[in-house]
Structure 1
């Protein structure tokens, strides 16, 4: 669906060249929700604006649905942009226009007849949950309602791709979740490919299928969201995962080792359906050991749940070893020994 090869963007500032996007190569499948995450200055917003050439690339190629966007002239680009909707952090609504007139604006530019515009606008108002607010002005709307207008406007021309640049950053957590649920609903109903730019791992975790982590203009890590959560490789990715888990794992492990100075400490990794297994009680019944649950958390992603659990195993060394081997060999739960029995 989307193929990006060697994409780069260099700005000149204070007589110096600043590289915002540095040789990015990326493939995004049709119909998936693809997240791009990075801290401020990583180049992620520049990247998404390069996709529809709101920023002109310094180098590289962008191909969307077999059309090379980077090779289009101005007239061709205007037509191609009709198939790429975009929503922004600060909504970018026309404050002198009502909800329905904001949504109709791109249809007016595209030359749709009035009756077609009105029918399409009403369809979109129903889709984004704004029925009854058609004649309200932006100043009369909440932040979440404004973003729903922005989403409806971005969908007006039936785009194939929806670009979301920090679309929930200005919203409170509850409203953020409602907008994310709406994006998932749109993705499923319309089969729309969504590229979502954010600095919040909660957003990636909740709705994305794939994620790319950006730092200093480059993709430093990429993969299935669940895989990246389970085994983050780069330090920047580990920091983002800590946003969800609520603790620095290295610090947490060290604290557990210092606090519990007896027995074997192991970390269990649960994935998908294994999060619902009664593993602890089963192992406790099967082996003559004591099991003390020290710390744990389960988190949901689009591909399923994953969780980690730290437990202390006490008792006969051979029985402990048998229990660990049982978990490792006879279940789908991953087990990692943090500290051997003393």
Structure 2
């Protein structure tokens, strides 16, 4: 569906050349929700803007649905862009137009007859859950409602691809979740390919099939979301994963336990899928002469599975603890002994 080949974007500044995007290669499949994560300045916004030629690559090719975008004429590019919708962090709505008129705007530009425009806009208002707000102006809407207008407008011309540029960064957590649920619903109903960029691992964890991690203009790691969560390879990726499985309060709790615990072991268990709901602790207590203290635990849902982490303190005679550790490993549960945080 989408192929990026050796994409580079170089900006010239007074201090010299800046490689905002540096030899990026990506393959994004049709119907996929593909996340690109990185901190500010990683190059992710520049990268996503090259997918619809708002930024032209200095080198490399962007191929979408078999079309190499940089080789299209202006007329052909305008037509190709109708198949690529885009939503933004700060909504980019027309403040003098109503919800209905904002959604209608791209249809006007495309020359769609008025009667068909109205029919399409009403469909989209229903799709994004804005019934009854078609006559409201952006200033009368909440942040989540504004983003729903932005999504509806981006879908007006029945695009094949939806680009999301930090689409939830300006929203509170509850509203963010509702917008992410809407994007998943749209992806499933319309078979739309969704590419989103973010600096929040929560967004990737909740809705993406695949993820690419960007740092200093390069893709440093990529793969299925669950695989990246389970086995992050790069330090940058490990930092993002820890946002979910080891928030600051977990680090503080573990540090306190490690400092005060003179015997036994503190271990982290990782469960995937149905294993996340197993009564493993009960089995440990029944089989081995050890004390098991649960320090902290969490089950996170990815789009396709569950991912659980549990921190426990095993206390008892060293041989018995070692038997318990071996038992856990034999049960296909990942185990890591925590010695410092």
Contact 2:104 2:121 in 1 (8 A): yes
Question: Is it true that 1:48 corresponds to 2:48 in the alignment?
Answer: yes
Superposed displacement of residue 251, structure 1: 7.6
TM-score under structure 1 normalisation? 0.94
Report the counterpart of residue 293 of structure 2 in structure 1.
Answer: 292
Question: Is it true that 1:78 corresponds to 2:89 in the alignment?
Answer: no
Superposed displacement of residue 80, structure 1: 0.5
Question: Is it true that 1:18 corresponds to 2:18 in the alignment?
Answer: yes
**3-state secondary structure, aligned to 1:328:** helix
Distance (whole Å) between structure 2 residues aligned to residue 210 and residue 69 of structure 1: 23
Report the counterpart of residue 182 of structure 2 in structure 1.
Answer: 182
Report the counterpart of residue 276 of structure 1 in structure 2.
Answer: 277
Question: Is it true that 1:242 corresponds to 2:242 in the alignment?
Answer: yes
> After the TM superposition, which residues 211-290 of structure 1 pair with which residues of structure 2 at under 5 Å, given as runs?
211-244=211-244, 245-247=246-248, 255-290=256-291
Report the counterpart of residue 58 of structure 1 in structure 2.
Answer: 58
Report the counterpart of residue 115 of structure 1 in structure 2.
Answer: 115
Q: What are the Cα deviations for residues 159-209 of structure 1, in whole angstroms up to 9, with x where unaligned?
A: 000000011111111111111111111011101010001111111111111
Contact 1:242 1:248 in 2 (8 A): no
Worse-superposed segment, 147-156 or 309-318: 309-318
Q: What are the Cα deviations for residues 211-246 of structure 1, in whole angstroms up to 9, with x where unaligned?
A: 111111011111111222222222222222232231
Distance (whole Å) between structure 2 residues aligned to residue 96 and residue 141 of structure 1: 13
Distance (whole Å) between structure 2 residues aligned to residue 326 and residue 16 of structure 1: 58
Report the counterpart of residue 132 of structure 1 in structure 2.
Answer: 132
Question: Is it true that 1:196 corresponds to 2:187 in the alignment?
Answer: no
Distance (whole Å) between structure 1 residues aligned to residue 220 and residue 41 of structure 2: 14
**3-state secondary structure, aligned to 1:184:** helix
Contact 1:8 1:58 in 2 (8 A): yes
Report the counterpart of residue 305 of structure 1 in structure 2.
Answer: 306
* 1:323/1:243 CA distance change after superposition, 3 Å: closer
Q: Which runs of 5+ in 1 are unaligned?
A: none
Superposed displacement of residue 255, structure 1: 4.8
**3-state secondary structure, aligned to 2:327:** helix
Contact 1:7 1:24 in 2 (8 A): yes
Q: Which runs of 5+ in 2 are unaligned?
A: none
Worse-superposed segment, 191-200 or 66-75: 66-75
Distance (whole Å) between structure 2 residues aligned to residue 294 and residue 301 of structure 1: 23
Contact 1:270 1:308 in 2 (8 A): yes
**3-state secondary structure, aligned to 1:335:** strand
Distance (whole Å) between structure 2 residues aligned to residue 143 and residue 266 of structure 1: 42
Aligned-residue Cα RMSD (Å) equals 1.8
Q: What are the Cα deviations for residues 79-135 of structure 1, in whole angstroms up to 9, with x where unaligned?
A: 100000000111111111111111111111111111111110000000001111111
**3-state secondary structure, aligned to 1:325:** helix
Equivalent pairs counted in the alignment come to 338
Superposed displacement of residue 252, structure 1: 6.7
Show structure 1 runs of 4+ deviating over 6 A.
Answer: 248-252
Distance (whole Å) between structure 2 residues aligned to residue 215 and residue 251 of structure 1: 28
Report the counterpart of residue 325 of structure 1 in structure 2.
Answer: 326
Contact 2:250 2:296 in 1 (8 A): no
Distance (whole Å) between structure 1 residues aligned to residue 64 and residue 190 of structure 2: 17
Distance (whole Å) between structure 1 residues aligned to residue 321 and residue 19 of structure 2: 54
Distance (whole Å) between structure 1 residues aligned to residue 229 and residue 5 of structure 2: 26
Contact 1:35 1:211 in 2 (8 A): yes
Superposed displacement of residue 282, structure 1: 1.2
Superposed displacement of residue 8, structure 1: 0.6
Contact 1:87 1:165 in 2 (8 A): yes
Superposed displacement of residue 248, structure 1: 8.9
Report the counterpart of residue 90 of structure 1 in structure 2.
Answer: 90
